[in-house]
Structure formats: C-alpha cells, structure tokens
Amino acid sequence: MNQTTGVGLLGLGVVGSAVANAIIDRHRLEDPSISLNVAAAVVRDLDRTRAVDLDRSIISTDPDSVIINHEVGIVVELMGGENPAFDYITAALKAGKHVVTANKEVMCKRGSELLATAAENNVQLLYEASVAGGIPIIGPLMNDLAANTIQSVRGIINGTTNFILTKMAHEGADFDDVLAEAQGLGYAESDPTADVDGFDALYKISVLARLAYHTEVPVDVIHREGIRGVHAKDFRYASELGFTIKLLAVAQANRESGLLARVHPALIPLTVPMASVNGVLNAVEVEGDLVGPLWFQGPGAGPDPTASAVMGDILRIASGTVSSGSPTAAPEPFKIASMSDHTCKYYLRLTASDRPGVLANVAKVLGDADISINSVLQKDTDIENGHADLVIMTHPAREANMQDAVSAINDLDTVLRLDSLLRVETYAE
Ligand code: NAP
C-alpha cells in the first residue's frame, strides 16, 4: 500500500485549479503508483468561484495553513510575483517542505537564494513550469544535458507576443488592433507590459541562462526590447527579403567573449524552424557541444500544459527520484558580455525624402560607422509629399557602431524618421 503525499497549494487560480484537478483525477485511479491528495490551499479571496471542487474547509487565506501543515509534504507555489511568494517559499523550505513553483519572476530574481535555502534544509525546489509552460526544458538542462557545454539557448518563450506577431505577419494587422484582440481572447492581460515589453521573456531567459551556464544572469545585465515598435509594414518588407519577425530570447556564451543574454524582436529567415512557431506556441533551441542542436516545441502556457509540468515535478519528488542535497559544484562563472559588442546584420526602415543623393547620405553615415550595406529597397513612394520608405539590410556590424550610426542618421535633414531598427538573428549557413 502506497503512502499518500499531501500537497499544499499556495494559489488556486488558473494553474492552481488545474493542478488540484489533476491530483483529484489521479486519486480516483484504482492503484496509483504514487498517491497524492490536496491537503490544503491558500487564496486571497475565499468567496471567489473556483474551477475545482475542493472541500471548502481546506481553503484558507492563512499561508501557514499550508506552510506549517503537518499533512503537507510538498508545497506548490502558484501565486506568481516576487512577493510574498519569496517569503512563503523560504518559510516552506525552512519548515522542511519540498517546494514546486511555476513562478519565473521569483526564480529569476531570487532563485539562487531559494535554491541555497533548499540545499541547506535538504529539501527540493523544482520549477519546470516556470519557463515555457508545458515544454520540458528545465529538467533537460539540469539533468539530461549536464555533460554538454551549452553554446546557446534561443527561444520564443512568450506566447502572448508570439500570438500578436503571428497575427501581424499573417493578417497585415497593426500592433494596437491585435493587442486588443489578444486581450479580448484572454491571451493578454489588461496591463500587457510584462509580455509586450519583454519582461516575461527576460525572467525566463535569466532562469535558463543560469542553468545552462552556472552563472548568475541578473535582469539588469540582460538586453531587453519589447514588440511595441514593430509595425505591420516591417512584416511586409521582411517577408519580401525572406524573413519574418519574432520576439527572441537568447543566451549564448563562450569563454572568450563571455555570456550575453538578450530579449528583442528579430528578423529570422523564413527557412528556419523557429519561423513556423506560430500563435501561442513556444519553442526553445539548445545547442550543446556533444548533442548538437536540440529543438523543443509546445504549449508555453495554459492551465493543463502548465499543470503537466507542475505535476511532473510533484511526482518526481513524491517518488523520491530526485536526489536531495547540494547541487553539483558550479564551474567558474562566465563574465557578462556587453550588448554593445554583439554583432549581427541589421534591418533599417527610414522615411526619407524621395530625391537624389539621399541613399548616398545614409550610406556615408553607415560607412563612417564601419557598416556596409547589403541591400536596399525603395518602397511606398508618396509622390504628393515627396517621401519614400527606404529599407536597408546591412552586413554584420557591431551594436555600438550601429547605435552611433542611428544618431547620425537621425541628424540627416533628408531623413524624416528612422521608423524601425531590427536585428537579424544569425543562423549557421
Ligand atoms: P492566477 O490565475 O492569477 O492565480 C493566482 C492565485 O494565487 C489565485 O488563486 C490568488 O488568489 C492567489 N494569490 C495571489 N496572491 C496571493 C496572496 N498574496 N496570498 C494568497 N493567495 C494569493 O495566476 P496563474 O495564471 O494561475 O499563475 C500562477 C503562476 O503560474 C504564476 O507564477 C505564473 O507566472 C505561472 N504560470 C502561469 C501560466 C498560465 O498559463 N497561466 C503558465 C506558466 C506559468 P485568488 O484566487 O483568491 O485571487
């Protein structure tokens, strides 16, 4: 006869309810190999209707009803945010409870402290659901790929922005219209900042980079740009040039140049698999020296896919298949590289006067910054106002040089506006 492990839920919202339902469904099995029950749950508002049928006597607003409950062996934090999640997780670990969380923000900002507290108290802290929802990516980086030197981790790890960019690409729609639609469908929050300004992807790539490179990658060293500056026109021109636009989160490192983590919209060739990751799907590419390139794709959010990842962690702990104790000794940390040294091709879209010599002016400014032009398109000529779109693709250039050139381009009196500056992601030929 198996012993039942009591699970205490901090949070009973979208994911918490799905996890509770998965535990209840499992309990109904004739002879589950691992037996679980929901012993207690903590919420903010006791009167809210829940998407799970739990005995109301086990739901409370008092965090101690989970954290120091003797019937709880595993605490599952599904509230979100840095605080009070950090305090509750810390208290649970110190009380000798194993913890599972889906919270990327707390694992990004306070993950090292929490993992150290777990090790000191000889308990587990697992967080598979914190990045890319249902896709197993933390476990592979932590366990299966441990023998590899990781060259890069690159992904589409925010479903909301991918939904918006996919709609813009396929329907020629504007950002504001698609954002409103995403909000109506429940894919975007009423305050969309965390998603569209790249914070959510930033937290997640920080978590992945720490795992892949055994180096702290705090949020303030990660380059972050969101998608508000991407326009419908850019998809049209990018497509003519053989590209689409995605919000990428990338961490790459080697001993010479150091570790660079960045989140920004990028042109990617239509021929690479990442270009076909559409809608709310997520995907992560990992390149390891032994294994080569790996590809993970699937639902990056949603109650059941996220519950799948949370339940995987719960079952691993309950079955005793995770080793307890300190993590393996970390190799020497990488130095953090500066975004200014990043080198890639660039896409520029300018509104310029439609008269001779304009391109020569722009080419001179770029040339002065040591940037050469690969191709130029002149589009959407507005004869009445004497304007045209100038779309320029450069050869690879350093970020610092491009930023210098941008200032000089903005000073040209033949250029009305620099409308877009997007990086072109580099892929092996
Ligand atoms: P949610 O629907 O907003 O649920 C949050 C739950 O936490 C609610 O039950 C809320 O109580 C409770 N809560 C919040 N603050 C609390 C506090 N101070 N004290 C007690 N209870 C508190 O959020 P969610 O979508 O389930 O997300 C939960 C976590 O999973 C987050 O870290 C999120 O980033 C992560 N995650 C979510 C998804 C997804 O698809 N939704 C995917 C991957 C990861 P009330 O219900 O009473 O308000």
Q: Which amino acid appears at position 415 of this protein?
A: V
The secondary structure of 162-186 as a DSSP string is: HHHHHHHHHH---HHHHHHHHHHTT
Given pLDDT bands bounded at 50, 70 and 90, which one contains residue 1?
very low
CA distances from 32 to 1, 2, 25, 29, 312 (A): 10, 8, 10, 6, 14
Sign of CA dihedral 177, 223, 152, 115: negative
**pLDDT digits over 162-180, tens only?**
999 999 999 999 999 999 9
Predicted local confidence at residue 325, as pLDDT: 44
Given pLDDT bands bounded at 50, 70 and 90, which one contains residue 384?
confident
Q: Which amino acid appears at position 246 of this protein?
A: K
pLDDT at 50 over 70: yes
- Give percent of the chain above pLDDT 70: 97
Predicted local confidence at residue 326, as pLDDT: 45
Token pair in block for residue 332: 């020497």
Cβ-contact 287, 293 below 8 angstroms: yes
Cβ-contact 12, 45 below 8 angstroms: no
The CA distance from 79 to 42, in Å, is 9
pLDDT at 394 over 50: yes
CATH number of 339-424: 3.30.70.260
Cβ-contact 263, 201 below 8 angstroms: yes
306 lines ligand 1 (CB under 6 A): yes
135 lines ligand 1 (CB under 6 A): no
Closest ligand 1 atom, residue 200 Cα = 34
84 lines ligand 1 (CB under 6 A): yes
Lowest mean pLDDT among 31-45, 195-209, 278-292: 31-45
282 lines ligand 1 (CB under 6 A): no
For the chain, the domains span 4-130, 138-299, 339-424
Lowest mean pLDDT among 22-26, 295-299, 380-384: 380-384
Q: Please count the residues of the chain.
A: 429
133 lines ligand 1 (CB under 6 A): yes
pLDDT at 110 over 70: yes
**Closest-CA residue to 422 (of 236, 232, 251, 268):** 268
Lowest mean pLDDT among 29-38, 114-123, 138-147, 179-188: 29-38
CA angle 104, 109, 113 (to 5 degrees): 110
204 is catalytic: yes
**Closest-CA residue to 200 (of 226, 220, 179):** 226
CB atoms within 10 A of CB 428: 6
Closest ligand 1 atom, residue 103 Cα = 32
132: left (phi > 0), else alpha (psi -120 to 50), else beta?
left
Give the 3-state secondary structure of residue 151. strand
For the purposes of burial, counting CB atoms within 10 Å of the CB of 32, is it exposed (0-12), middle (13-18) or buried (19 or more)? middle
The residue whose CB lies within 8 Å of the most ligand 1 atoms, and thus the one to mutate among 306, 308, 310, 313, is 306
Cβ-contact 143, 288 below 8 angstroms: no
Residue 30 parent element (H or E): none
Closest ligand 1 atom, residue 303 Cα = 40
Cβ-contact 119, 162 below 8 angstroms: no
Residue 319 parent element (H or E): none
User: Mean pLDDT score of the chain, rounded to an integer?
Assistant: 94
**pLDDT digits over 307-340, tens only?**
999 999 999 999 988 764 444 556 789 999 999 9
Of the options 3.30.360.10, 3.40.50.1010, 3.40.30.10, 3.30.70.580, the CATH number for the domain spanning 138-299: 3.30.360.10
Q: Which fold has domain 4-130?
A: Rossmann fold (3.40.50)
CA distances from 386 to 75, 97, 108, 133, 233 (A): 65, 69, 50, 49, 19
The CA distance from 210 to 229, in Å, is 29
Residue 32 parent element (H or E): none
Given pLDDT bands bounded at 50, 70 and 90, which one contains residue 273?
very high
Cβ-contact 373, 393 below 8 angstroms: yes
Closest ligand 1 atom, residue 61 Cα = 20
**pLDDT digits over 198-208, tens only?**
999 999 999 99
**Closest-CA residue to 200 (of 187, 214, 212):** 187
Q: Which amino acid appears at position 213 of this protein?
A: Y
Predicted local confidence at residue 169, as pLDDT: 97
Rg (C-alpha) for the chain, rounded Å, is: 24
Cβ-contact 398, 342 below 8 angstroms: yes
16 lines ligand 1 (CB under 6 A): yes
**Closest-CA residue to 406 (of 260, 175, 229):** 229
Cβ-contact 253, 260 below 8 angstroms: yes
Given pLDDT bands bounded at 50, 70 and 90, which one contains residue 380?
confident
Read off the pTM.
Answer: 0.96
Distinct helix (H) and strand (E) counts, the chain: 13, 17
Given pLDDT bands bounded at 50, 70 and 90, which one contains residue 26?
confident
The residue whose CB lies within 8 Å of the most ligand 1 atoms, and thus the one to mutate among 9, 10, 14, 282, is 14
Sign of CA dihedral 124, 127, 128, 129: positive
